[in-house]
Structure 1
Amino acid sequence: MKKYALHSCIAALVLGSSGAALAAKPLKAIGISVSDLANPYFVAISKGAADTAKKIGGAGVKVTTVSNKYDLNTQVGQIENFIASKVDIIILNASDPRGVGPALKKARDAGIVVVAVDVDAEGADATVMSDNVMAGAESCKVIANRLGGKGNVVIVNGPPVTAVLDRVAGCKKVFAGTGIKVLSDNQDAKGSRDGGMEVMANLLTSYPKINAVFAINDPSAIGAELAIRQAGRKDIALIASVDGAPDAEAAIKAKDSLFAVSTAQNPYKMASMAVEIGYGIMNGKRPETAKVLIPTPAITKDNVATYKGWTMN
C-alpha cells in the first residue's frame, strides 16, 4: 500500500485541463463522528480533525464532533444531521462498516466528501487508518518471544469493526504454528477499561493458568491488568496491547507493570491526514490510493524512552 504524499491543500489548486488556476473551494464546515469521546484515542482523532480544518479554512470553520457509542442507529442519525447542516466533509469512525453504507451514500449524493478514519466504512471516498494487522502481529511477537513459543494466552477482544478484526488476525497469525494456545478470543470488552476489567475477571475464573494477555486496545488492557491484580494472579507474565496511549506509555515505564508492549498509533496524525485528503477531494484532487495505512511500531521497555507519544499538533 503506497503511503499518501501529503500535499498542501491550503494553497490554490489547479483544476481542470485548461491550465487555468482556479481558487480552491473554501472549507466552511466539517462533521466528526467517533465511537467514544471517553476514550483519549478518539479525543485525539477529533482534535486532529478540528485543528487541521481550522488551519485550512480559518478560525471560522464550523466543527461539530459527536460520539456514537458504537451504535449504528445513533451514527446514522448523526450523518443525517450533518447532511441537513450541509457540512463539506464528514470524518467518520464507523460503528458498523457495512451498516453505515446507505447513510454515506446519501451524504455523497448531497455533495459531501466522506473520509473514514481508524476503520473501513463502506461508501467512503477514502480511508486513513493504522496498519492494524501489523499492530496485532507486532504485539503478539513480543508475547511469543517472551513465552518461548509456548503457553496459554487469552485475547481480550472488542467491537467487531475492521480495526479490531485485523488486530486479532495479525496476532493469531503470529501464534499459528507455535506451541501457544489461545484459550479465549471471543469476549468483547467494548474497548473500555471497565469492559476490560469485567472480561478479564471472567477469564480468570474460567482458566486457572494463563501466561499472557493480548488486548485489542490500551483501555481494555489497563482494565485487564486491574482485574489480574485484584485477583492476585501470579501466573500471567505479560500484557500486550495496541494504541501507544499515554496511560500505556506510563505503564510500560513502570517497574511493576505487566505491560510489555503497545503498538503505537497516531490518531491525531490520522485525522489530520483525513481532513487534508477530504479537502483535496473537494477540489478534484484524489489521493493515489483510496486507503492509507499508517505503520504501527512496537513500543517496549527497550525503546519507550525515545517514544514521542501521540503527536497533538
Structure 2
Amino acid sequence: MLPRTRPVLAVAIACLALSTTACGSGSGGDSSSGKAKVGLITKTDTNPYFVKMRQGAEQAAKSAHVDLSTAAGKFDGDNAGQVTALENMVASGVKGVLITPNDSKAIVPAIAKARAKGVLVIALDTPPEPENAADALFATDNVKAGELIGAYAKTAMTGKTAKIATLDLAPGISVGVQRHDGFAKGFGIGSTDPSIVCSQDTGGDQAKGQTAMENCLQKAPDINLVYAINEPAALGAYTALKAKGREKDVMIVAIDGGCTGVQAVKDGKIAATSQQYPLKMASDGVKAIAQYAKGGKKASGYTDTGVQLITDKPQTGVEAKDTGFGLKNCWG
C-alpha cells in the first residue's frame, strides 16, 4: 500500500491502470469537481456488449452529475486486471463500483476489501459466487432467457422428434449453466435428456461455435435443433450447417439480442433469440450509486433488467416481439 502522505502519487498510479476515460476530462473522475465518483469495470473494453454497457453508464453519469471512471480486463477471463482496476478505483475515492466479473469466485476477496472501505459494489450481468459477495446484482434472468427460446423451439418443433445440439459456454460459468438449464426447462426436458445428442463448449466465440457444430454433425448428422449460448456461437453454427447444405432444415435459437444477432434473425439465419439489455443494467447501476452517494441508501439484492423473445416467425402461445422492435432496442 502506498503511504498516506503521498495521495497525489497514489491517484496518478491508479489512473495508469484505468482506461483513458477514467482520468481525463468529461466522464473521468476529477477530484476537484466535487462530484461523487463512480467506477465501471467490464470484462473487456472491445466486446460490443460491454461497449453498450459503458455507453449506458456514461449517459447515466452525465444525468446524475457524477464522475465516471472506466476500466476493463485485457481479455475475457482476466481476473488480475479487474482486481487491479478495483483496487485503484477504491484508492481514488469512488463511492461505488459496477463490475462484470471475469471470474465469479476469484474476484470475491477484492470485492470484500472494497466493501469493507464503504464502497458500494454492484455486479452487472454476471453474479459473483456467492451472489451476496456484492451488495447487489443488476442482470438478465438467464434461466428465463433460456426458457423463452426453449418454449419457442418446443412449439416450433411440434410433430418432430428433436435431435438437439447445445453449444454451451464453458464448464462452471454460472451464466452458461443457467441458460442451458433454462432452455431445457422451456423445452420440457432435463438438462441431460437423451434428445440432446451433442454438447460442445464454445466460449461464446463464433469460430469455436463453427468448430463445435462441425464436431456435432460428425457425431450426430441428423441434428435438427441447435441451442446456442449466444449469437456469435449461433452464427458459427449457421456457417457449419450451410457448408453441409443443412442451414434450411436445422433450427437455431440463441440468447443475447445484440444488433448483429437480431439482424441474423431477420435474415433467417437464427429462428429466435432472447434479447437482454446491458445499457439498462449499467444505467440503473450508476443511478443506484448516485443515490447512495447522495443519501446513503444502498442497493441490495437482485434486480431483473428484463429479457424479450425476438422472432419474425411467432408461435402460438409464445409471447414475442418482431425484429423491428429488436433492432430498435438491441442491447438498450
TM-score relative to the length of structure 1: 0.81
The alpha carbon displacement at 1:54 in A equals 2.4
Matches within 5 A, 1:173-184: 173-177=185-189, 181-184=195-198
The alpha carbon displacement at 1:214 in A equals 0.7
Q: 1:154 to 1:84 in 2, by over 3 A?
A: same
1:227 paired residue among 235, 240, 249: 240
Deviations 1:132-169 (A, max 9, x none): 11100101112111222631111111144322221111
What is the aligned partner in structure 1 of residue 108 from structure 2? Answer: 101
For residues 85 and 194 of structure 1, what CA distance do their matches in structure 2 show? 40
Q: 1:234 to 1:119 in 2, by over 3 A?
A: closer
The alpha carbon displacement at 1:180 in A equals 7.2
For residues 233 and 82 of structure 1, what CA distance do their matches in structure 2 show? 50
The range that moved more, 242-251 or 75-84, is: 75-84
Matches within 5 A, 1:1-313: 27-57=35-65, 61-67=67-73, 68-121=75-128, 122=130, 123-148=133-158, 150-159=161-170, 160-177=172-189, 181-185=195-199, 187-233=200-246, 236-254=249-267, 257-282=268-293, 283-287=295-299, 290-301=301-312, 302=314, 303-307=322-326, 308-310=328-330, 312=332
The alpha carbon displacement at 1:211 in A equals 0.6
Deviations 1:186-217 (A, max 9, x none): x3211222222232222222221111111111
For residues 71 and 154 of structure 1, what CA distance do their matches in structure 2 show? 29
The alpha carbon displacement at 1:311 in A equals 5.8
For residues 270 and 214 of structure 2, what CA distance do their matches in structure 1 show? 17
Structure 2 segments unaligned to the other structure (5+ residues): 1-33, 315-321
TM-score relative to the length of structure 2: 0.77
Counterpart of 1:88, as a letter, is K
SS of match in other structure, 2:271: strand
Counterpart of 1:108, as a letter, is R
Structure 1 segments unaligned to the other structure (5+ residues): 1-25
Higher relative contact order (CA 8 A, sep 6+): 1
Native 8 Å contact 2:167 2:212 kept in 1: yes
The range that moved more, 269-278 or 228-237, is: 228-237
Native 8 Å contact 2:167 2:226 kept in 1: yes
The alpha carbon displacement at 1:114 in A equals 0.8
Native 8 Å contact 2:71 2:85 kept in 1: no
The alpha carbon displacement at 1:127 in A equals 0.6
For residues 273 and 112 of structure 1, what CA distance do their matches in structure 2 show? 17
For residues 210 and 258 of structure 1, what CA distance do their matches in structure 2 show? 16
Native 8 Å contact 1:150 1:180 kept in 2: no
- Give the alignment's Cα RMSD to 1 decimal: 2.4
SS of match in other structure, 1:203: helix
Q: 1:87 to 1:286 in 2, by over 3 A?
A: closer
For residues 288 and 108 of structure 2, what CA distance do their matches in structure 1 show? 20
Counterpart of 2:69, as a letter, is V
For residues 152 and 113 of structure 2, what CA distance do their matches in structure 1 show? 44
Aligned residues: 282
Deviations 1:75-118 (A, max 9, x none): 22332232333332211111222221111011112222111011
For residues 172 and 74 of structure 1, what CA distance do their matches in structure 2 show? 35
Q: 1:306 to 1:79 in 2, by over 3 A?
A: closer
SS of match in other structure, 1:297: strand
Native 8 Å contact 2:213 2:240 kept in 1: yes
Native 8 Å contact 1:27 1:279 kept in 2: no
For residues 199 and 27 of structure 1, what CA distance do their matches in structure 2 show? 49
The alpha carbon displacement at 1:44 in A equals 0.9
Native 8 Å contact 2:226 2:251 kept in 1: yes
Q: 1:300 to 1:279 in 2, by over 3 A?
A: same
